[in-house]
Structure 1
Amino acid sequence: MNILKEKELIPMIYKLDKKDYQKVRALLRTPEQKNDLMLNAIINGTNKGAIYVDNIEQPQTALVDETGVISIFIGDAANEKFIHPLREFIDNQLKIDTYESCGGTYFLALIPDENWEKVMKKVVSHREYEWDYEHYFQFNREKFNALKSGYKPLPKGYTIKKIDAEVINNDSDKIIFNVLDEFWYSVDDFLQQGLGYCVLKGDKIISACLTCCVNGKDHEISVETYDEEEMNKGLATLVCAAYLEHCMENGLTPHWSTLETNVESNRLGEKLGFEFKSKCKTLEFEF
């Protein structure tokens, strides 16, 4: 008996080198996948992520992972070379990779169709998990222009600034640096290809709106207010408005997506002139 050959037949999931990411482009088969902002941002090597496949040379199925944020399955959902080891891979290797890369402890995946839904029900049947939907919004500039006159004014003592090297270097708490580190390979990459604005109270960064993924002129928005005491003052709305004004002036297309259960994010997107376009089922659990 040839033990080596037996081992070679055991299905495995492999992590692609960044230089090989383009090999999975052929697995983008639907118009939605071919135009997906996050998928293209990672496959192009613009934004941080990892890609796992059944075969390094000729992948038939893949998991494209925006590490610590969300994962997307692409390719053949009936490919046992990928499906058979998937449970063990998620429970072990992906868990380790996610924690080591960003301290993440949750798995959240988009489930693109009924075939993948059936697969994942079996793969994670030993776990407690939750279903949700990712909502995708399209920017309506006319609606934004009509709504912005109703925004709260910026409170006294606060300023809004474009995020540049000076802002990042003067951020003693490294708030912006840490956020950028989740999505970008370097600060320089962000400064060259991304966009961001922040609200400052004195020298302290309170809230920020910035590009988390970019593909050409398409920019995905990430927004957060970092101090709970500063919430409900309209700061996130105003910093996003500055970001959106920049997009309109420079021919960029902003994108907004969020989970259906994130009521505040859905409400903020609509307040900024984004209109619901589509949704995709998601599955989530804690590792």
Structure 2
Amino acid sequence: MIHEADIYVRKKLLPMFKDMDNTMVLSCLQGHMGTAWVDDLENPTTAQIMVGIFVYYAGNPYSKGAEELLHNLPEHIYVIVNSDEWKNAIETVHKEAFEKFQRYKFKKNPEDLKRSHIHAILSNLPEGYRLQKIDSTLAKESSLHEISPDLTSQFDSIDDFINRGIGYAILNEGQVVCGVSSYSIYNQGIEIEVATHPLHRRKGLASIASSALILECLDNGMYPSWDAANLESAKLAQKLGYTLEDSYDTYYIHYKNK
């Protein structure tokens, strides 16, 4: 049997996930968002963290609750682990329902983000486009969510996003064509989500909107963490000043609950 972990149990999980170095894990363990599940509430040996479309496992992959936790998934999810034992467990349990690909991890070093460089990127907004911070009105704009529902979806409501999150959008002819925001939040900062309408790509909009977000984070003592889902996102991060640390295995699991 597995159990949902409250904030007190989550604190017990910090040592279990200490080597993962992932802001969304911290987001859950610090109580900001997401859910956590364990095999035992008093003395957990295996744990699962879920934030948005991401799931993380740590602890003993051979415990009695590990397989149940591996089945505790929505239909479409991305799973991240940091040991070969957990990778083998995932590939065994979901042997015909997973795809493995690489994500790209960046060093969390504020000194890499040079303000003068970022300001220079920010100054290149093309004619006909307008940069705007996401406020309560813009956060409800349908064109924002058509670009990516994940720009605000991890928060309990639009008001919750306005109160706890942060974001910028670029508009063209009254429609949002690019957005960047806090996918998730943790004590020390945010995890960045960025998306651009296909018809407005290759114009530098994502780098400009990201620059505005990064500068506001730095001004407020928050770290704007970047974890890239693909090479295009990784190149954008490097353009902004982030230093690539490593690539790592990620599992897309198209699991169907029975």
Is this a same-fold pair by TM over 0.5?
yes
Q: Is the 8 A contact 1:28 1:75 kept in 2?
A: no
Does structure 1 residue 208 correspond to structure 2 residue 144?
no
The structure with the largest alpha-carbon Rg is 1
- For the 8 Å contact 2:60–2:66, the answer to whether it is kept is no
After superposition, the Cα gap between the structure-2 partners of 1:173 and 1:279, relative to the gap in structure 1 and judged at 3 Å, is closer
Q: Secondary structure at the match of 1:208?
A: strand
Tell me which protein shows more helix as a share of its residues. 1
**1:264 Cα deviation after fit:** 0.6
Task: Check the 8 A contact 1:218/1:255 in 2, yes or no.
Answer: yes
Structure 1: gaps (5+ residues) = 1-11, 99-104
Question: Post-superposition shift, 1:148?
Answer: 5.2
Query: By how many angstroms is 1:248 displaced?
Result: 2.3
Residue 215 of structure 1: how far off its partner (Å)? 1.4
Distance across 2 between alignment mates of 1:142 and 1:223:
17
CA distance in 2, matches of 1:238, 1:37: 23
CA RMSD of aligned residues (A): 2.7
2:170–2:179 contact (8 Å) kept in structure 1: yes
* Aligned positions of 1:178-217 closer than 5 A: 178-217=149-188
Q: Amino acid of the residue matched to residue 215 of structure 2? A: E
For residues 198 and 277 of structure 1, the distance between their equivalents in structure 2, rounded to whole angstroms, comes to 28
Q: Distance in 2 between matches of 1:106 and 1:273?
A: 32
What residue ranges of structure 2 are gaps of 5+ in the alignment? none
Query: 3-state SS of the aligned residue for 2:116?
Result: helix
The aligned residue for residue 52 of structure 1 is: 37
Other-structure match for 2:222: 252
In structure 2, what is the equivalent of residue 5 of structure 1? none
Residue range with higher mean Cα deviation, 273-282 or 192-201: 273-282
TM-score (norm 1): 0.77
Quote how far apart the aligned CAs of 1:219 are: 1.3
Describe the shift of the 1:223–1:142 C-alpha distance in structure 2 as closer, same or farther (beyond 3 A): closer
CA drift of 1:84 comes to 3.8
1:158 CA drift (Å): 1.1
Alpha-carbon deviation of 1:37?
1.5
Kindly provide the CA deviation profile for residues 92-136 of structure 1, in whole angstroms up to 9, marking residues without a partner as x.
xx2xxx3xxxxxx53321121122123223222344532434423
SS of the residue 1:185 aligns to:
coil
Contact 2:134 2:168 in 1 (8 A): yes
- Cα deviation for residue 168 of structure 1 reads 2.3
Which residue pairs with 2:60 in the alignment? Answer: 76
What amino acid is the match of 2:26?
N
Give, in whole Å, the separation in 2 of the partners of 1:77 and 1:186. 35
Separation (CA, whole Å) in 2 of partners of 1:107 and 1:172: 25
Task: Provide the identity percentage.
Answer: 24
Q: Structure 1 segments of 4 or more deviating over 6 A?
A: none
Q: How many residues align?
A: 252
Matched, 1:39 2:25: yes
- 1:228 equivalenced with 2:198 (yes/no): yes
Query: Structure 2 vs 1, CA of residues 52 and 32 (structure 1 numbering), >3 Å: closer, same or farther?
Result: same
Cα separation, 2, equivalents of 1:148 and 1:174: 24
Contact 2:47 2:69 survives alignment (8 Å): no
Q: Which residue of 1 aligns with 2:249?
A: 281
